[in-house]
Amino acid sequence: MKFSPCTDNCTHQDTHCDGCGRKRDEIASMKKHVVGLVKLAKEMEYENIEEYADAVAASIKKKLGLKKQ
């Protein structure tokens, strides 16, 4: 399955969003994890948010066994 990012054209009917095509449970799960990452960044008072986001992405790729890009 290919990931489809949010397009800011969200719909709340049916089982899938018409904007991005993702299932409601996928959207909810991702939102939960993003909220947690934002909470951590705020708690740590990170000033370099771009580096934090890049490090999170790199960590995900590493854990999936993907090469660094």
pLDDT tens per residue across span 2-54: 999 999 999 988 999 999 999 999 999 999 999 999 999 999 999 999 999 99
pLDDT at 66 over 80: yes
> Do the domain assignments include residue 1?
no
> Do the domain assignments include residue 3?
no
Q: Per the structure, how many domains does the chain have? A: 1
Q: How far is residue 9 CA from its own chain's centroid?
A: 17
> Do the domain assignments include residue 4?
no
Cβ atoms of residues 27 and 34 within 8 Å: no
The one-letter code for the residue type at 14 is D
Q: Which two tokens stand for residue 6?
A: 């949010």
> Do the domain assignments include residue 27?
yes
> Do the domain assignments include residue 65?
yes
Total-model pTM: 0.82
Assign 67 a pLDDT band (cuts: 50, 70, 90).
confident
* Domain of residue 37, residue span: 12-69
